[in-house]
Chains A and B, each alone.
Chain A
Amino acid sequence: MHADAATLKAAAAQTLKELEGRALGPRDRLAIPCQDMPAQDPMERIRNMNEVALGYSAEQARVEASRCLDCKNAPCVQGCPVGIDIPRFLKLAAAGDFSGSLAVIKESSLLPAVCGRVCPQEVQCQAPCTVGKSLKGVEKAVSIGRVERYVADLERAEGRRAKAVVAPDTGKKVAVIGSGPASVSCAADLRKAGHAVTVFEAFHRPGGVLIYGIPEFRLPKAIVDDELQGLRDMGVSIETNYLVGRTRKLADFMSEDGFDAVFVGSGAGLPTFMNIPGENLVGVFSANEYLTRSNLMKAYAKGEAATPIYEADTVAVLGGGNVAMDSARTALRLGAKKVYVVYRRTIKEMPARVEEVAHAMEEGIEFRFLENATRVIGDDKGRVRAMETVRFELGEPDASGRRRPVQVAGSEAELAVDAVIVAIGNGSSPLIPQTTPGLNTDDHGRILVDENGMTSLDGVYAGGDIVLGAATVILAMGEGRRAAASINRRFLG
């Protein structure tokens, strides 16, 4: 399962030599071996915060890209939320033209180094890939994301990123609220069009969920900082410690501060709890809190960081998404001896990326499927000592098409744990809708927008998780770009 980078690179070099000069038919391409992602050794990596997946070598990137059949109908492009011309970028990568390859990606995506790492490719571009279908396994599809990551990382490593071309000043001012993927994409497109853009971030450090939510071992913060620096270099101004709704009301931006349009990309920051007894005991955390302490506040750097993080030997994480995987793997790295992921369905229904689940399993996280917590039990000091669980079995499919878990009568049991992390999803951040009269939301608190991304308030646009509910980086990015395009049209009109 686990192979080291040098071995993989050497094998790829050999493959490349064999392929050289040959005209490759589909059959030949299907025979090219899938390129595994080199990764840190599991037993090693659970003791550090460094990135787990180490990235392809040039040889591996070329071999993997060579597996693409260049299908006429390009089903992969249909699977990509922002419609990247995948066959074209893979063809250039296969030929070794990595900067040309990246240029193709950048026509559609602004954050390739991020998306290459965090996109759920197996349900997007790689799901309909003909190679995967021919070889009867989505895991055998062309690893589009890994090649994307390689060409983006190479540019950064070589420091040859070209400064974005910015159109002459239009005299228009736009406020962008939040600094996560939706906002960053929106701000970049608006600035390129020549508008003055100010990004307002509540935290002391910009980047949104990419900074506070996704751990270093999955997305190095240097990559996010680099993207934000790119934004600043274009002339986008970023104001931190600015909570729209409290520091200033959204309405004031347009009525008093002279902004011509506003984009709200404030995300899905409201943690969902289980609403079970004992949830407010000491040692129960929302994944947001646990991950923010570790990621943004760097609590993992004990002795250096002033923010503490709860010390626990046995940790239960509730949930089955990426956030649950991130929480479980963070707990392990912070010194937990045993980490459980408790999920009420089975591995098949888990929304987490396949790679994250595989990594978590390699690292020794114990998955307890078809199980859920019904109560958290404390000791005499109000600290978590156990969790009451029940077992489920899968019944009829529900509205989402997944088989509904049904509780097994009399299956109550006690699981000894000393911390519980609740990672069952996030709701939309309520502060801006609450403090902005006339801004309409749906029953879940998500801001309602029209087909142009505009809200019920004229000139106020929204996108990303505040509109979608907790979704993905690439979808948020697409939303930010759509709103930017609408704002541009508004200014021209």
Chain B
Amino acid sequence: MNEILEKKKLSDDVYSMTFKAPRIAAERKAGQFLIIQLDTSVGERIPLTIADADPVVGSISIVFQAVGETTHRLAAMDVGQSIANVLGPLGRPTHIEKFGRVLCVGGGIGVAPMHPIARAMKDAGNDVSIIIGARNKSLVIMEEEMRRISDKVLIVTDDGTYGRKALVTEPLKEACESSAPPDLVVAIGPPIMMKFCAETTRPYKVSTVVSLNTIMIDGTGMCGGCRVTVGGKTKFVCVDGPEFDGHQVDFENMMLRLGAYKGQEKEAHHKCHATLGIKEEVK
């Protein structure tokens, strides 16, 4: 089960991995995610988004950034090895219908979960445009795959090393102000990016869906660790989401909650780097 079939390094610390998971490949829909765990006894369970699936081969693909203990260990695994535990597909699928003009904004590795959503939106007859944002050229991922879905792909980088030098909110604002504004914006990326995307579209009253990635344990609605405040109400990202109306999400509270274990994670990160022989840059 869960044998790794392919592994690619997309940039410095971003990897794509394809592994066998026939049941999930058959059931998953755009917008859903997985929980993985590398060690049944003492591993942590982390949520990861699904970038692609092949129901014929029975495989799914994930794109992840090696940022914590588990993602570092995952990045160190090779083709032929198996991921101990994979649970999915989790969460509610993206609501797909013909909205008209759909603008997909993917930031960093948020481009990966955007991929199946953009494709499903396209298949539903929408006019799909895509903005890919990254800090610099080396962190731009899945450009080719996205271009296969839409001929309207705009790349922006923070430092201008590739595409336009801008934050994703600039072309987003321009789109909202244009003569053909989007009927729906889907924004997936770092919390701060999603927050500002929602703020950007708010005055134009353009519906904006965001996909949240919070701390989870079970991913089945049992612990409430992933809870966020949406429109003043508590929602569980794992079963009520992961997608919510961006204009209703309390991003400040969500970002604070994401930092709950910062001190302990840092410690684990150092230890993990040491075990895996990764040298750390002094910042």
The chain A residues found within 8 Å of chain B, CB to CB, are 202-205, 212, 240-243, 246-248, 269-271, 273, 275, 279-283, 285-286, 288-289, 292-293, 297-298, 301, 304-308, 310-311, 381-383, 429-431
Contacts and interface: CB of A to CB of B under 8 A. Distances in A.
Of the listed residues A204, A242, A297, A429, the one surrounded by the most CB atoms of chain B closer than 10 A to its CB is: A204
B250 to A, nearest CB: 8
A306 B253 CA distance: 25
Contacts of B259: 282
16 contacts: A204-B84, A240-B85, A243-B90, A247-B24, A273-B234, A286-B224, A289-B223, A289-B224, A297-B217, A301-B42, A305-B42, A306-B268, A308-B264, A310-B260, A429-B221, A431-B239
A311 B264 contact: yes
Nearest to A241: B87
Interface of B: 23-24, 27, 37, 39-45, 69-70, 84-90, 217-218, 220-225, 227-229, 234, 239, 250, 252-253, 256-257, 259-261, 263-265, 268
A247 B234 contact: no
Given A241-B85, A381-B256, A382-B257, 20 more contacts: A203-B218, A204-B37, A204-B40, A241-B87, A243-B220, A246-B27, A247-B24, A269-B222, A273-B234, A275-B234, A279-B234, A280-B253, A286-B225, A288-B222, A289-B224, A306-B70, A306-B268, A311-B264, A383-B256, A429-B220
A289 to B, nearest CB: 4
Nearest to A430: B221
Contacts of A269: 220-222
Given A247-B88, A297-B45, A308 B268 contact: yes
Contacts of A202: 87, 218, 220
Contact of B265 (A203, A293, A308, A431): A308
B253 A298 contact: no
Nearest to B24: A247
A383 B44 CA distance: 23
Interface SS of chain B: helix, strand, loop or mixed? mixed
Contacts of B86: 241
B214 to A, nearest CB: 11
B128 to A, nearest CB: 27
Contacts, number: 118
A382 B268 contact: no
Nearest to B258: A282
Given A280-B227, A280-B253, A306-B70, A431 B88 contact: no
Contacts of A431: 220-221, 239
B267 to A, nearest CB: 9
B87 A243 contact: yes
A306 B222 contact: no
B23 A270 contact: no
A306 B275 CA distance: 14
Given A241-B85, A381-B256, A306 B42 contact: yes
B45 to A, nearest CB: 7
Closest CB pairs A-B (n = 4): A382-B256, A289-B223, A306-B44, A308-B264
B62 to A, nearest CB: 15
Contacts of A279: 234
A429 B238 CA distance: 13
Contacts of B261: 308, 310
A247 B221 contact: no
B88 A246 contact: yes
Contacts of B218: 202-203, 292
Contacts of B250: 280
A246 B89 contact: yes
Contacts of A304: 42
B173 to A, nearest CB: 29
A286 B223 contact: yes
A175 to B, nearest CB: 14
Contacts of B88: 243, 246-247
A247 B41 contact: no
B224 A288 contact: yes
B87, B222, B239 pick with most chain A CB within 10 angstroms: B222
Among B85, B221, B225, B263, find the residue whose CB has the most chain A CB atoms closer than 10 A.
B221
B87 A288 contact: no
